[in-house]
Structure 1
Amino acid sequence: MFPPTESKRECRRKKDAERWPFCSDAFMIGPPSCTLNDLRRPRLRKCPFDIGSTTWIKPLGGGLDGYCWKVMFGNEGPYVIKLFWDREQRSRASFASKLECRNAALLQMMQTAVEDGKAVGMPVLLNHRARAWVEAIQNIESFSVEERQDSEARIKRAAELDIKLRPFLSVPRLRKCYGWLSISGEILAGLPQQLRPPDAEIKCRSTRWPNWAEGPDTDYMAIVYEYVEEAPNSPAAVQEVVDFLHLAGFTNTLSPWTRNWQGSVLLDILAIASPYEWAWRTDNYIRLIKAEWMLRT
């Protein structure tokens, strides 16, 4: 059980996070900035690809949050476009585009921080025994430039609290994200019938679909990812990813499904939540997840 002050602090931070912008109009060119402020308020940068150059190859399927296609941008690719149904927040935990943009931005910053830290001899230092919300937050902030530059002071403060910090020198294979973009209703309506997204259904009831009645100027948010080829999952490689995500402060939010993984790469990052989100739960964070559980069918 947390002390009341920590519990109030967690609730206040999550309420504040509801108002933060989650995407940036800056194009995703070069590595992201990794300051403390960037990590505290993660925003996904804009995809630099031209949506007008898109060749829609085939649908990949979807669900309650959105729909995915395999695409090319000009002669480059293949990539995946993931389009989100909801264009505004319905409840605290249901705005998928916001959650996924923040997760993608955080993971990209963390990967950059580890690479930069290793290159200049100022590695990211993490508490490998993190179990509480405040410890998850501290591990996220450990990826910042400021924390990496103040490593000696951090080690001293941690030792006073009987916390051992260990250097983190490599990030396991993660799916590459190329940023967010807008897709108009006109583009979606112009797709051939076999490429159009079907309604997402639960118990034979349609629950999510593009609202064609809102007109061709309606914009839907999407995120562009690398296309991961089909390949078997290695439990050992999946375990590396799961362990990294725990160290980085994330918890699992969805039921485990093998289909969330391909070639030992996590495809759906809505399956995780950072401690800034209401979906983050202490009872999930204190449990150390095994790959075999994540890969259940």
Structure 2
Amino acid sequence: MPGMDRYAAESRRLQSMSMPFLNEELMKGTPRFRGQDLRDPRLRRSTLDPKAIVFESRLGGGSDGFVWKVRFGDEGPFALKVYWDQVPPHEPGSYYSMQRECQNAAVFQMMEASLDVDPVLVYEQPLGRKEAIENYFSFCEENCYPNLIPNSGKPVALPGAKFISTLPRLTKCYGWLKLRKDLWSSLPDDMQASHEDPNKVKKLMSSHLNCIGVVYELIEDGENDAAAIAELDRFLWQAGFAFTITPNLKDWKSGIMIDHAGIVHVRGYGWNEDDYLKRCVSDMLAKLDDQTNSQGDEPLGAK
């Protein structure tokens, strides 16, 4: 019965949207990465002082939120992203972008912490949800390699498996912070957020709640590197992430992915097996290759 299927899907969505994703603990030191932490990823609070924020310029926005170049006193510059939806959206089937990005950032930090201790053993070519989940939880403390094979010598991967020892280059996240609700009215006109749909801006600016923003490393403009993009795509696949939309070069700078709303970890809302198995970054790389060839350069990956 299609009606019941839609009802069940919406119930699952609402349940997922209600999951907490912010940790009040300050982002100091290494995060925990036990199995429970990966099952329930929560981004830690930024150590930066929101009272010291200085807006320097607008970097632009999209369907999920708006981004500014900011400083906090003498620290920075950083990229501050503030989301249009400060509470779960009501539209059936929609995802909660702030929740997704905070969870992704928390997961990446836990995976980095895990790799700082030991290499992680994963399926080299995971072929479905079960193997994606196993790879994802390979990063938890309980599954670190020495715990799996005590008294082992040099790590040796079995056929069909591989060791991941380092995290690819990712945009660093400095945690979430709370911004006072009257902040937007004090900004000059040339610093205000904008969107082709004015209702998105109105919903954020007219809210009576203090809003949440997430602070990221500021990535400068630069040429995209096909090898770096392919490396990250391979890592995301082996770590259990799926692309929820077709990757676009506008979301990458200098070979670094700057927008993390288009990916979802295997435990997150919106993950599905079809998207996971469809490695659509190859289409983006082909376009990048075409752009390079049209400029008369050597084909990407030729060396």
For structure 1, list consecutive stretches of 5 or more residues without a partner in the other structure.
1-10, 118-122, 156-161
- 1:8 corresponding residue in structure 2: none
Contact 2:223 2:254 in 1 (8 A): yes
Q: In the alignment, what sits opposite 2:201?
A: 209
- Match of 2:96? 95
SS in 2 for 1:197: coil
Q: Tell me: CA distance 1:178–1:294, structure 2 relative to 1, closer, same or farther (3 Å).
A: farther
Whether the aligned pair in 2 keeps the contact of 1:256 and 1:294 (CA below 8 Å) is no
SS class of match (2:182)? helix
* Match of residue 53 from structure 1: 52
Structure 1 residues 250 and 179: CA distance shift in structure 2, 3 A: same
SS at match of 2:149: helix
Q: CA RMSD in A?
A: 2.4
Matched, 1:272 2:273: no
Letter in 1 for 2:46: C
Equivalent residues, number:
269
Per the alignment, residue 244 of structure 1 pairs with: 235
What pairs up with 1:29-178 in 2 under 5 angstroms? 29-91=28-90, 93-117=94-118, 123-148=119-144, 149-152=146-149, 164-178=160-174
Range with bigger deviation, 88-97 or 59-68: 88-97
Q: Secondary structure at the match of 1:239?
A: helix
Deviation at 1:167, TM superposition (A): 1.2
Listed as ranges, the gaps of 5+ residues in structure 2 are 1-9, 153-157, 289-303
Displacement of 1:114: 1.0
Partner of 1:185, secondary structure, is: coil
Deviation at residue 16 of structure 1 after TM alignment: 6.2
Identity %: 30
User: How does the TM-score come out when normalised to structure 1?
Assistant: 0.83
* Structure 1 moving runs of 4+ over 6 Å: 11-16
Out of 173, 181, 195, which is 2:177 matched to? 181
What is the Cα deviation at residue 294 of structure 1? 5.3
Query: Which residue number corresponds to residue 120 of structure 1?
Result: none
Cα distance change of structure 1 residues 187 and 15 upon mapping to structure 2, 3 Å threshold: closer
Whole-angstrom CA distance in 2 between matches of 1:256 and 1:33: 30
Offset from partner CA, 1:40-99 (integer Å, 9 cap, x none): 110000011001111110000101211000011111111010001112112553211111
For 1:73 and 1:83, the matched residues in 2 are separated by: 16
What letter is aligned with 1:174?
Answer: L
The one-letter amino acid of 1:104's match is A
CA contact (8 A) 1:35 1:145 kept: yes
Stretch moving more, 277-286 or 24-33 = 277-286
Could you list the per-position Cα deviations for residues 177-201 of structure 1 after superposition, in whole angstroms to 9, with x for gaps in the alignment?
A: 0001111221111111110102x22
Residue deviations 1:261-282 (CA, integer Å, cap 9, x gap): 0011000011101122332121
Q: Is the 8 A contact 2:247 2:280 kept in 1?
A: no
Using the alignment, how far apart are the partners of 2:13 and 2:128 within structure 1?
A: 15
The change in CA–CA distance for 1:56 and 1:82 in structure 2 (over 3 A counts) is same
Deviation at 1:17, TM superposition (A): 4.4
Amino acid at match of 2:149: E
SS in 1 for 2:41: coil
Asked whether the 8 Å contact 2:249–2:284 carries over to 1, the reply is no
Kindly indicate whether the alpha-carbon contact (under 8 Å) linking 2:136 and 2:266 is maintained by their aligned counterparts in 1: no
Which of 189, 208, 215 does residue 193 from structure 1 map onto? Answer: 189
2:272 corresponds in structure 1 to: 281
Name the CA distance, whole Å, in 1 between partners of 2:286 and 2:52: 36
Question: Which whole-Å deviations, capped at 9, do the CAs of 1:107-155 have from their partners, x for residues lacking one?
Answer: 11111211221xxxxx2111112121121111111001100043228x9
